[in-house]
């Protein structure tokens, strides 16, 4: 059934129908469409626009349709243009005359604006919940590894020693900010467009506060043109998901590096890695690589929607139908990536001795040697130069700073004493870093407690 046959004298060309139709993808929000219609008719009856009796018949019919879609008794067939027409046509089939009153005071423009918002609002919460699970796993790993040493890098070169807790803690902060962004989006988007009509409201005495309340919104939107033309919340959500994917992708990249034969910092669980069809020795980090790879898809969706929206005059234009497929894909991709990534890091193990040895090599304690000299009164710039000479000497002899004898130290600077060994030991280098945000266990414990509290609230 078409919702707009009256002024037409010809059937729609089949290719036009196919090109125009959105049912193949907008059936994803059949539930939201029906929930929105139930709220709409509840309000229509409360304001006396339709009778209580019609309302009850319509709601029964809509619930029946929902139930039948869920059980598979009702198949969503392609001859309808979109989910809105599909539901309305089936309602009229089932309940007759009262069904024809459902669309009173409503347009598909405010209907689709509502459906997409309801669908997205749920998904914002779902993504938020998945991030919470990920944070729980990250925090567990942090708690267990405040003394698991590893090198920290800048320019992918060993820089200073840190711990696994500290490294994972960096990602904790990123995903925590991501959740903050989702909360902001939720609050900003949570206003109901229903009752905006095609673009200019309606002449019926609709109670928009009531429908907003029935559907869990903070209130109705305040401009009917904006209501049907606004896709900002989708752009914001795609942007937030792009940032989430960027974080997951950076983390994945590190996991891929750590999992390489050269690093061997971690061991991925067999259930979360894959083999090679030809090289029997291989155990590949495909999940991490796929997460890294899929990031492009989500960025692409953001660019695509921004580009679609940029030239659209007010109010509704059919271009906006393009928001759906790419948003659905980005949402499903992001959710899948967060879940898989969470499982992968939850099951992986750390080769602690390899990590610790790696942290000991590469002069990661050079800054601490300089700070030692500063502690003995040497100006930092001079200390930097002296330690530079030590490093050169060690490179030549193929040894670490810790391997030098006191005489060798003194030959470069007489300021060195026996306590240099303690000062530049790996443990000291990390443990002395006790300011909040630093890797020392004392500081980490405080951060872990704060983040534990954050996850409880
Ligand atoms: N399928 C359409 C969309 O996704 C629904 C709104 C149709 N409105 C209209 N005036 N043709 O945007």
Pair 178, 284 in one domain: yes
The pLDDT-based confidence of 116 (bands split at 50, 70, 90) is very high
Looking at the structure, do residues 99 and 119 belong to the same domain, yes or no? no
Q: Kindly report, residue by residue over 369-399, the tens digit of the pLDDT.
A: 999 999 999 999 999 999 999 999 999 999 9
Please choose from 318, 323, 326, 328 the residue to mutate so as to test ligand 1's pocket, defined by most ligand atoms within 8 A of CB.
318
Q: Pick the catalytic residue from 24, 51, 264, 276.
A: 276
Q: CB of 409 within 8 A of CB of 416?
A: yes
426 lies in some domain: yes
Is residue 7, in this structure, part of any structural domain at all?
Answer: no
pLDDT computed for residue 6 by the predictor: 76
Contact 391, 191 (CB under 8 A): no
Burial letters 349-358, b for 16+ CB under 10 A, else e: ebeeeebbeb
| 9, part of any domain | no
Q: For residues 239 and 380, state if they share a domain.
A: no
Q: From residue 208, how far is each of 2, 41, 69, 111, 324 by CA, in Å?
A: 27, 12, 29, 13, 25
Residue after which a domain boundary falls, among 352, 386, 418: 352
Q: Is 108 in the pocket of ligand 1 (CB under 6 A)?
A: yes
- Asked whether 66 lines ligand 1 (CB < 6 A), one says no
Distance between first and last Cα of the chain:
50
- In this prediction, residue 1 carries a pLDDT of 58
- The CATH number covering residue 417 comes to 1.10.40.30
Confidence class of residue 272 from pLDDT cuts 50, 70 and 90? very high
Q: Which two tokens stand for residue 184?
A: 């902001």
One-character DSSP codes across 48-97? TSS-HHHHHHHHHHHHHHHHHHHHTSS---TTSSSHHHHHHHHHHHHH-G
* Tens of pLDDT, residues 185-194: 999 999 999 9
Q: Give the Å distance between the CA of 33 and the centre of ligand 1.
A: 13
Residue 79: per-residue pLDDT? 86
Indicate which residue's Cα is closest to atom 7 of ligand 1: 108
276 in catalytic set = yes
CA distance 393 to 69: 76
Domain match, 291 and 169 both = yes
pLDDT digits (tens, 9 = 90+) for 123-177: 999 999 999 999 999 999 999 999 999 999 999 999 999 999 999 999 999 999 9
| Total domain count, the chain | 3
Q: Is 321 in the pocket of ligand 1 (CB under 6 A)?
A: yes
Please, what is the average pLDDT of the chain? 96
Does the N-terminal peptide bond of residue 315 adopt cis geometry, omega within 30 degrees of 0?
A: yes
Q: What is the position in ligand 1's atom list of the atom closest to the CA of 81?
A: 1
- Per-residue pLDDT reduced to its tens digit, 197-221: 999 999 999 999 999 999 999 999 9
Q: How far apart are CA 387 and CA 367, in angstroms?
A: 8
The number of the ligand 1 atom at minimal distance from the alpha carbon of 323 is 4
> Does 82 sit in the ligand 1 pocket, CB within 6 Å?
yes
Range of the domain at 441: 358-456
Ligand 1 centre distance from Cα of residue 214 (Å): 24
- Judgement on whether residues 292 and 177 belong to the same structural domain of the protein: yes
State which H helix or E strand residue 149 sits in: strand 149-154
Task: State mean pLDDT over 220-249.
Answer: 98
Mean pLDDT over residues 404-414, rounded? Answer: 96
- Ligand 1, closest atom to CA 324? 4
Active-site residue, selected from the candidate residues 155, 349, 353, 457? 155
Which residue is associated with the tokens 């949402």? 331
**189 and 228 fall within a common domain:** yes
0.75 cut: is pTM over it? Answer: yes
């Amino acid at each position: 059934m078409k919702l707009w046959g009256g002024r037409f004298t010809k059937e729609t060309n089949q290719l036009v129908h196919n090109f125009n139709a959105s049912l193949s993808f907008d059936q994803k929000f059949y539930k939201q469409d029906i929930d929105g219609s139930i709220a709409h008719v509840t309000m229509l009856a409360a304001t006396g626009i339709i009778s209580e009796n019609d309302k009850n018949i319509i709601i029964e019919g809509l619930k029946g349709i929902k139930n039948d879609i869920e059980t598979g008794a009702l198949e969503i067939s392609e001859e309808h243009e979109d989910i809105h027409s599909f539901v309305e046509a089936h309602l009229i089939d089932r309940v007759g005359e009262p069904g024809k009153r459902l669309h009173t005071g409503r347009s598909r423009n405010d209907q689709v604006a509502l459906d997409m918002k309801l669908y997205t609002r749920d998904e914002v919460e779902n993504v938020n919940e998945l991030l919470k699970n990920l944070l729980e796993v990250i925090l567990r790993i942090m708690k267990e590894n405040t003394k698991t040493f590893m090198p920290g890098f800048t320019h992918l070169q060993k820089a200073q020693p840190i711990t696994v807790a500290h490294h994972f803690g960096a990602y904790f902060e990123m995903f925590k900010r991501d959740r903050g962004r989702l909360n902001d989006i939720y609050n900003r988007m949570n206003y109901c467009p229903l009752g905006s009509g095609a673009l200019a409201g309606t002449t019926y005495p609709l109670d928009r506060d009531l429908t907003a309340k029935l559907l869990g919104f903070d209130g109705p939107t305040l401009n009917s043109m904006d209501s049907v033309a606004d896709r900002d919340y989708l752009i914001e959500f795609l942007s937030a998901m792009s940032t989430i994917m960027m974080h997951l992708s950076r983390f994945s990249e590190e996991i891929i590096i750590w999992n390489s034969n050269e690093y061997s910092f971690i061991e991925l669980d067999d259930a979360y890695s894959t083999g090679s069809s030809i090289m029997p020795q291989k155990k590949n980090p495909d999940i991490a690589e796929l997460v890294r790879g899929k990031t492009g898809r989500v960025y692409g969706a953001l660019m695509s929607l921004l580009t679609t929206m940029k030239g659209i005059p007010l109010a509704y234009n059919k271009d906006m139908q393009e928001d759906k497929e790419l948003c659905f894909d980005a949402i499903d991709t992001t959710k899948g990536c967060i879940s898989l990534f969470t499982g992968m890091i939850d099951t992986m193990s750390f080769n602690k001795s390899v990590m610790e040895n790696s942290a000991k090599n590469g002069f990661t304690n050079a800054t601490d040697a300089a700070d030692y000299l500063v502690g003995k009164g040497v100006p930092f710039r001079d200390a930097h130069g002296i330690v530079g000479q030590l490093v050169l000497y060690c490179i030549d002899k193929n040894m670490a700073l810790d391997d030098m004898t006191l005489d060798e130290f003194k030959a470069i600077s007489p300021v060195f004493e026996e306590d240099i060994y303690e000062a530049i030991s790996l443990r000291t280098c990390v443990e002395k870093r006790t300011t909040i945000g630093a890797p020392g266990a004392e500081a980490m414990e405080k951060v872990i407690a704060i983040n534990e509290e954050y996850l409880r609230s």
